[in-house]
Structure 1
Amino acid sequence: MKSHNQRILIAMLCTGVSALPGTTMAQTTQQPAASTGQLDDIVVTATRDARALQDVPMSINVVTGDQIEKLNLFDAKDIQRLAPSLELTNTDGRSNAATLRGITFNPDQGTSPSVDIYLNEIPVDAQTAFTAIYDLEQVEVLRGPQGALRGRTAPGGAITFRTRRPDLDDVDGYIQATATDRSAYNVQGGVSLPLVPGELAMRVSALVDGNRLNQVYNVNRDERSRSRTESARLSLAWQPSDAFNANLTYQYLHADNRQQYQVFGEGNAPALFDPTLSGPPADVDDYIAVHEGPRRYQNNSHFINLAFDWDLDFATLNFVGGHQDSRLVQVGDSDVGNAIPNYTSIQTTKTPYNVDVAELRLVSNSNAFWNWSVGAFYSKQTGTVTVNQKADRFFVNTPVSFGLFLPITADIVVPVNSEQWSISASSSFQFTDKLRLEVAARYSDLKNIQRASVTATSPGFPGFPAFGIPFIPAFSSTSDAIPPELSKTTNHPLTGGATLTYEFTPDLTAYAAYGRSFRAGTAGVGVPVNLSNDLIKSDSERSDAFEIGLKTALFDRRLTLNLSAFYQKFDGYISRFPGISYDNGALNVFGQPVGPPDGNVDGAFDFNYNGDATVKGIEATIAGRPIDAWDFSVSASYVEARFDDAVLPCNDFNGDGEPDAEGDAVITGPGNVSYCASKGRLGDVPDFSLTANTEIRFAVGDLEPFVRGLFSYRPSVFSQRSNFDYQSRELLDLYVGLRGLGDGWEVSLFAKNILNQKRITNISQGESRTATDGGDYLSGYRIITATNPREFGITTSFKF
């Protein structure tokens, strides 16, 4: 079956590339139609050409720059409010994660993402992309396997961000300012200036944003969560002739997040013989943290992007290239539940993200029957990740002042060297004015060298015979965290897909699509030593997906209805399993693990692992303008994303084969970790989700009052991984305001989460703990994230 699919993809590759006529990227995403009562035409670039949304054979959610400003979507993660089954999360101020169609991802996996992120058609790191957003033209959420028409392959989908480009002919711009009752502020703006009218122009935009992130107050540090982001962007557009145009963009970003970890539970006096509490009882709506050390994440990024189109008559030559230079620094207390009072376990991680990307494509100019494209893509990432952390080994859970622990400092050095090149081809055949076939394929060469050295240093321990603790001499040793035989990975995947589209009428189109994706396996960073290879490095992942869809426009295009159904089969889906207790073996005289598992739990770690899985579901979007003064849109998704009896790492403290983390930590079975067979969800998300938004306008002379609403619904769901029932969430934002006719200015008052729901959105499997050889320190808390409480604010904007 695999070889048969590969032959099909090779045949696609040989025929050329997709139905991509030689049109340039759309500069205008909406064509006003309000005067006729019809819905605005939305132009998307999901297929790397400019097409009307209703003509693209793919399930897509589009968020325009106008919507971003009017709905006060100040953070990239707010895009999920307009795209069902999309979840963008950040539980610690650093690790941005995307889930789409139930297919989830954790950036600490080290793999390519399940949902890829593009800025001006350049793949970018989610840790940089998912920050405060401004001066965007459009965001597109593309569902299903991606990679045939863009450089990287992703099984779940892609999110493309496109910034506004300079206007060659006119001066235009905007400025917007927002303030809220929860100490949040956002000031942003942009202006285009023609330098040589019709030929050369520049656009300058900037942002300053501040907020309290998750609204959590740390009772042990007297400190609140807070964030400040500053960014600026300069763009140049040059069009010396009708046949050539180029755009150059530079963006600077500085983000500083101090996010406190929220706790939930009664707290505890963790140490024997010591009444000191980890902290007070904490409910969801208390929004408190208890860790005694700091939590701070800083991102300094520079991004350069160049794109040009050159019309060669028979075809158009397209180029996009980019350079990203990011410095990510995290300093954090690993004892987030304060399981050991009066003790901090500080970890400092420095991650450089140096990436160069280039893609060159030759795209045929529009032909009545056959259009094609060929392309080449190259990407290289370098840098050295360094981690410095405490790795103290506690013998018994006595007060830290007793000193019954072996002090250990661990320094981890991880050189990053990842390279990808690929060639792609696509063809489009317009068999009749109604029937079109598009095929595309990409052959890639992926090389990844993963090495990691761990240096453990300790002054030793004098021994304590009363507790049976022997003398341990001082030591300093360096070892390879990744065995040499696992350090090099080379893959040559063939990915791509095909779509068949039939246009029954200009307002009714049906399509069928097939797509194949691939993600290379990776070794984990900082994996504890002396573990089995399956816990150190995951295998590669492959998936095949099938989709059918229907796109319609009704009532003279006052109403659109889009439907899709899909099925995707994963061979070795890569997932991350957090907080898994491990036993890394018997100790030598220096207190270092070198032998087979000895039955003692030595700590907890987040492991990558493979498991077969199936994803299937349906999606629908209905949008309308029943009358000229009323717009609405409703999107819903139902997805079942499940493992197929996969044997996966788990915590199974009671030995019944089901995940649980109640009581003393133990390892079930003879291995380094416990394993459980799972038919569970790929991510902690419900099967159903819904989003809706609307605006009603009233004309009063030269003024236009309006009311807007934004609603998202997520039902309750039980998480097998966390052993927790998540409550349903009904988030409602309301806006009321006044603007001048022609959208020249606007003032609006708004309330976010007007129902003031305070719901847990993520929770650890068990309480935060620190393992010892003689009973764990138990904090009495589970670590959570929760919806932010109700927030009121005001926004003013001016366009010119």
Structure 2
Amino acid sequence: MKRQLPISIHCASVGSFSQSKSTRLRRNALFLGIAASVAVAQPTFGQPAAGSQELEEIIVTATRREQSVQDVAVSITALSGEQLEKLKFFEFEDMAAATPGLSMTSTAREPGVIAVRGIGFAPNSSAPPAVDVYLNELPIDAVYAFTSIYDIQQMELLRGPQGTLRGRPSPAGAVTMTTRRPDLGEVGGSVSGSFSDADAQNYQGALNVPIVKDTLALRVAGVKNTNEGPGGKLLNGDAPEVDDEGLRATLLFQATDELEFLLTHHYMDRAIDNFTFVEGAGAGYNGPAISADDRRGVAEKMGRQDQEIEITSLQASWDIGEHQLVYIGGYQDLTNEFMQDLDGANAVVDYSSLQHTATDFEVTTHELRFESGGGGRIDYSAGLWYSDTETSTDVHQVSELTGAFGYPPTPRGPADPAYLIGVDIYIPTDAENTAAFGHLEFHVTDKLDIGVGARYLEEKSERSQQLDLGSSLIAIDIGQGEPLTSILCPTILGQVTGLPWQGQTYPNTCDLALAASSFYQPAEEDWDHWVYDASIRYSLSDLTMVYFTAAHSWRPPGVTVGITAPIPDDILFGPPEQSDAFELGLKSEWLDRRLRFNAAMFYQEFDGFIGRFEDVPYVNDNTQTVDEGGFTYNGDAIAYGLEADLFWLISDEWTAQLSMSAQKGEFDDASVPCRDTDFDGKPDNGANPAYADWGASGPVAFCVSDDPISNLPEWNATLQSEYVIPRDALEYYLRGLLNYQPENDNFTTGFERDSFALMNLYAGVRSSDGRWDVTLWAKNALDEDTVLQLDSEGVVAGFASGYRGVAVLPEREIGVSVRYAFGSD
């Protein structure tokens, strides 16, 4: 019998904010001690342990065919549905805790960010992601992937450039999710419930019904997941909340022995109430002194996010002799509405600066693929691809002008609406992608395989930006004092200057009327490009394989939006990104297949990596001011590193997995937009210079950068283990997942993150046939409270709040899970 590895523990390098040397030594000792405990009590390495079991074969679909992970020339991490359930992974981003070199985060500022191999992604760049996400072979926007997961067959992380075989090109990798298929032969199902002291509840259920045995079956699954997100409270006592409700129906029709149809409809409704934690002394009027481990927020208005997700897919396969014709089609209707208080640090009391964002996605995809059945000297596949993505994004907010809070201004609301300028942004897009692709695998000898693949794609993109500014007043101190100001304003001043002065509201000022205005920026572009890869695999023995792969990837460009100044197009609109990647790997099994060791080294070079640069000053000649904003811009970059996985079936009852990843991604002497307020060619944190003092040669300053292109640490590792004690018809078990992250200074803000050891522990009992299972678990068992991110001080209308936004590890959570399955489940 084979036993599946149940857990995977990863330790990631996450820098240092303020940590003592003794604390770092204690955590390092903890990790090394756990690793040593796995090693010291083992049989001699050269001899297999007693027993007849071996590691279970891991089947993956990285090449669109079912293959053993040991036969694929790609670095892959695969988590089965059983592993996800054992680790109590309830949400999509939980996968990162068991996957080295992977980061999954989603915040109001940067939603749906996935980084791997040192390669990051900025959603505000308006570029396609560096890591694509696929649900049942349909590419989905990552924003809509960050929800509850349930009834999953398998999740896989494919590292390195993807795109020749599936969907669209992505330079860093892809995450695939496959949901469970119906069983044609037997009724089955499962129910589970999880509860924790963090006021979290997770209910899941699935029912499989063969409608016509061996021909037609239906599987229905659902989830209800509620929790307090990162925890904490606002000063008024309000707490965050996440509420997911999902339902999925899958119909399998085996029309003949050769013809099969699989129809799936997936629905998810997500509602989130959230806010930002802060730390700082405050400004004396807006709240008390707060530390990061207080987990408190000072916003006066809770943020709100509502998502509605509907995804329908149809897969059809027809076996034609020794070949197969496959069709995959899908339709996605996705909405995301978000409201946040831009004064999350409460710089102005009794006032909320609200921003409302609404995004709609409609995506249609079709793929037709013809492939060989395998077994010959040459395996091949060829296909056609089409996708049409239509989106619309509406943003509404206000900007506070002088006079909104009196004059001289005071940091207290409510604001005078006459001095608030409405800002409305509308961005529609329509992108069509057509492609032809193919792949050949030559089995040259029993030991040597050579693969080549290519995809020719054509992309047509239409997008525009409509920016509407409302009318408002701004109070101008004309420097004349009273009573002269009252006499000059508005008649005399208007006659002298020709400007629309409106009168006087505050002493020493005159009100200048700002008329409503609009800015429209269309863009239409067409690209065509080849992406391709090649691989060589050589089997040193039946259990050891080495491989080398080379791949060329491509991404359409991003674009800078929201800048209304006359900035040259070559700054606002960049070129596409191209990259070349190389990977050298080893896959091996030892000790009668009781030990598995896989490793890979990689190097990737980017010609014009798509980066995002925030808070960059720029000259606005229209208003003769220096403003600041975010710019999407390309810069050459490199990424390199290595990965290794060690799986060990120590005994028939004990399994362990140690995984690590080392990565470095950085710009390569790239000239990029920057905040350079003294114009010395180096970035700084100075205040914006006056218009007359602008010293750069163009409207934006540039610096030569070697900054990191992601927030990933330079190395990270994970350790997981399970020990099972069989007793009659029962199995008692202990398992653990350790994620260690060393110090990390790969933040362009200058923040340095402390190291931490995130440990999850599990203990329980189950029936030997797996029909029922009861688990007591603790996440973040060591109750680490490391600061994960530190923002700049919150400022609104010129008032400094005295608080900085922070993200903190969730508190220790203790819970219990109960599961019962019957029939085919």
TM-score by length of 2: 0.86
- Map of 1:257 onto structure 2: 272
Q: Distance in 2 between matches of 1:67 and 1:679?
A: 39
Alignment partner of 1:447 is 2:483: no
Alignment partner of 1:382 is 2:390: yes
- Map of 1:22 onto structure 2: none
Change in CA separation of 1:663 and 1:223 when aligned onto 2, cut-off 3 Å: farther
* Partner amino acid, structure 1, of 2:364: D
- Map of 1:21 onto structure 2: none
Q: Distance in 2 between matches of 1:117 and 1:796?
A: 30
Q: Name which of 222, 241, 246 aligns with 2:256.
A: 241
Following TM superposition, by how much is the alpha carbon of 1:225 offset from its aligned partner in structure 2, in angstroms? 1.1
**For residues 394-419 of structure 1, what are the alpha-carbon distances to aligned partners after superposition, in whole Å with 9 as ceiling and x for unaligned?**
47882155859842101111112111
Structure number with greater Rg is: 2
Following TM superposition, by how much is the alpha carbon of 1:280 offset from its aligned partner in structure 2, in angstroms? 2.2
Alignment partner of 1:624 is 2:648: yes
Following TM superposition, by how much is the alpha carbon of 1:491 offset from its aligned partner in structure 2, in angstroms? 1.0
Report 1:431-470 matches (<5 A).
431-461=444-474, 463-465=476-478, 466=481, 470=510
Following TM superposition, by how much is the alpha carbon of 1:325 offset from its aligned partner in structure 2, in angstroms? 0.2
Q: Distance in 2 between matches of 1:472 and 1:218?
A: 38
* Partner amino acid, structure 1, of 2:313: N
Alignment partner of 1:575 is 2:637: no
Alignment partner of 1:424 is 2:437: yes
Q: Which moved more, 1:688-697 or 1:466-475?
A: 466-475
Q: Name which of 62, 67, 71 aligns with 2:83.
A: 67
Alignment partner of 1:517 is 2:553: yes
Following TM superposition, by how much is the alpha carbon of 1:534 offset from its aligned partner in structure 2, in angstroms? 4.6
- Map of 2:773 onto structure 1: 746
- Map of 1:162 onto structure 2: 178
**What is the root-mean-square deviation of aligned Cα atoms in Å?**
2.4
Report 1:91-490 matches (<5 A).
91-92=107-108, 95-219=111-235, 221-269=236-284, 276-277=285-286, 279-394=287-402, 398-399=409-410, 406-461=419-474, 463-465=476-478, 466=481, 470-480=510-520, 482=521, 484=522, 487-490=523-526
Whether the 8 Å contact between 2:402 and 2:476 is mirrored in structure 1 is no
Whether the 8 Å contact between 1:305 and 1:322 is mirrored in structure 2 is yes
Following TM superposition, by how much is the alpha carbon of 1:758 offset from its aligned partner in structure 2, in angstroms? 0.8
Q: Name which of 766, 790, 798 aligns with 2:812.
A: 790
| DSSP-derived class of the 2:282 partner | coil
| DSSP-derived class of the 1:718 partner | coil
Q: Distance in 2 between matches of 1:498 and 1:130?
A: 32
Whether the 8 Å contact between 2:402 and 2:474 is mirrored in structure 1 is no
Q: Name which of 622, 633, 638 aligns with 1:609.
A: 633
Report 1:751-770 matches (<5 A).
751-764=778-791, 766-770=792-796
| DSSP-derived class of the 1:698 partner | strand
Change in CA separation of 1:301 and 1:792 when aligned onto 2, cut-off 3 Å: same
Q: Distance in 2 between matches of 1:416 and 1:90?
A: 23
Whether the 8 Å contact between 2:418 and 2:472 is mirrored in structure 1 is no
Q: Distance in 1 between matches of 2:114 and 2:695?
A: 32
Q: Which moved more, 1:41-50 or 1:86-95?
A: 86-95
Q: Distance in 2 between matches of 1:126 and 1:665?
A: 38
Q: Which moved more, 1:111-120 or 1:471-480?
A: 471-480
* Partner amino acid, structure 1, of 2:243: R
Whether the 8 Å contact between 2:3 and 2:54 is mirrored in structure 1 is no
Whether the 8 Å contact between 2:185 and 2:213 is mirrored in structure 1 is yes
Q: Distance in 1 between matches of 2:455 and 2:301?
A: 48
| DSSP-derived class of the 2:58 partner | strand
Change in CA separation of 1:722 and 1:387 when aligned onto 2, cut-off 3 Å: same
Whether the 8 Å contact between 1:659 and 1:720 is mirrored in structure 2 is no
| DSSP-derived class of the 1:414 partner | strand
| DSSP-derived class of the 1:717 partner | coil
Whether the 8 Å contact between 1:93 and 1:259 is mirrored in structure 2 is no
Q: Distance in 2 between matches of 1:29 and 1:778?
A: 58
Report 1:555-570 matches (<5 A).
555-570=591-606
Q: Name which of 749, 752, 770 aligns with 1:725.
A: 752
| DSSP-derived class of the 2:156 partner | strand
| DSSP-derived class of the 1:66 partner | helix
| DSSP-derived class of the 2:144 partner | helix
| DSSP-derived class of the 1:69 partner | helix
Whether the 8 Å contact between 1:392 and 1:409 is mirrored in structure 2 is no
| DSSP-derived class of the 2:548 partner | strand
| DSSP-derived class of the 2:293 partner | helix
- Map of 2:33 onto structure 1: none
Whether the 8 Å contact between 1:697 and 1:704 is mirrored in structure 2 is yes
| DSSP-derived class of the 1:439 partner | strand
Whether the 8 Å contact between 1:93 and 1:297 is mirrored in structure 2 is no
Q: Distance in 2 between matches of 1:658 and 1:730?
A: 36
Q: Distance in 2 between matches of 1:94 and 1:620?
A: 30
Whether the 8 Å contact between 1:394 and 1:404 is mirrored in structure 2 is no
Overall identity of the aligned pairs, in %: 32
**For residues 329-360 of structure 1, what are the alpha-carbon distances to aligned partners after superposition, in whole Å with 9 as ceiling and x for unaligned?**
01111122222333221111110011011111
Structure 1, unmatched stretches of 5+, are 1-27, 270-275, 587-593
- Map of 2:103 onto structure 1: 87
* Partner amino acid, structure 2, of 1:197: K
Change in CA separation of 1:756 and 1:672 when aligned onto 2, cut-off 3 Å: farther
Whether the 8 Å contact between 2:655 and 2:723 is mirrored in structure 1 is yes
> Number of residue pairs matched?
743
Following TM superposition, by how much is the alpha carbon of 1:517 offset from its aligned partner in structure 2, in angstroms? 0.9
Q: Distance in 1 between matches of 2:526 and 2:53?
A: 55
* Partner amino acid, structure 2, of 1:320: I
TM-score by length of 1: 0.89
Q: Distance in 2 between matches of 1:683 and 1:307?
A: 36
- Map of 1:50 onto structure 2: 66
**For residues 301-337 of structure 1, what are the alpha-carbon distances to aligned partners after superposition, in whole Å with 9 as ceiling and x for unaligned?**
1110110110111420011111110111011111222
Change in CA separation of 1:607 and 1:738 when aligned onto 2, cut-off 3 Å: same
Q: Any runs of at least 4 consecutive aligned residues in structure 1 with deviations exceeding 6 A, and if so which?
A: 28-32, 662-668
Structure 2, unmatched stretches of 5+, are 7-49, 482-506
Whether the 8 Å contact between 2:5 and 2:55 is mirrored in structure 1 is no
* Partner amino acid, structure 1, of 2:277: Q
| DSSP-derived class of the 1:780 partner | strand
Following TM superposition, by how much is the alpha carbon of 1:377 offset from its aligned partner in structure 2, in angstroms? 0.6
Q: Distance in 2 between matches of 1:633 and 1:525?
A: 45
Change in CA separation of 1:133 and 1:520 when aligned onto 2, cut-off 3 Å: same
Whether the 8 Å contact between 1:308 and 1:318 is mirrored in structure 2 is yes
Whether the 8 Å contact between 2:233 and 2:297 is mirrored in structure 1 is yes
Q: Distance in 2 between matches of 1:799 and 1:541?
A: 48
| DSSP-derived class of the 1:141 partner | strand
Q: Which moved more, 1:313-322 or 1:524-533?
A: 524-533
* Partner amino acid, structure 2, of 1:493: H
Following TM superposition, by how much is the alpha carbon of 1:387 offset from its aligned partner in structure 2, in angstroms? 1.2
- Map of 2:538 onto structure 1: 502
Whether the 8 Å contact between 2:160 and 2:173 is mirrored in structure 1 is yes
Whether the 8 Å contact between 1:297 and 1:330 is mirrored in structure 2 is yes
Whether the 8 Å contact between 2:558 and 2:610 is mirrored in structure 1 is no
Following TM superposition, by how much is the alpha carbon of 1:729 offset from its aligned partner in structure 2, in angstroms? 2.1
Report 1:532-543 matches (<5 A).
532-543=568-579
Q: Distance in 2 between matches of 1:727 and 1:397?
A: 42
* Partner amino acid, structure 1, of 2:814: F
Q: Which moved more, 1:431-440 or 1:605-614?
A: 605-614
Alignment partner of 1:585 is 2:620: yes
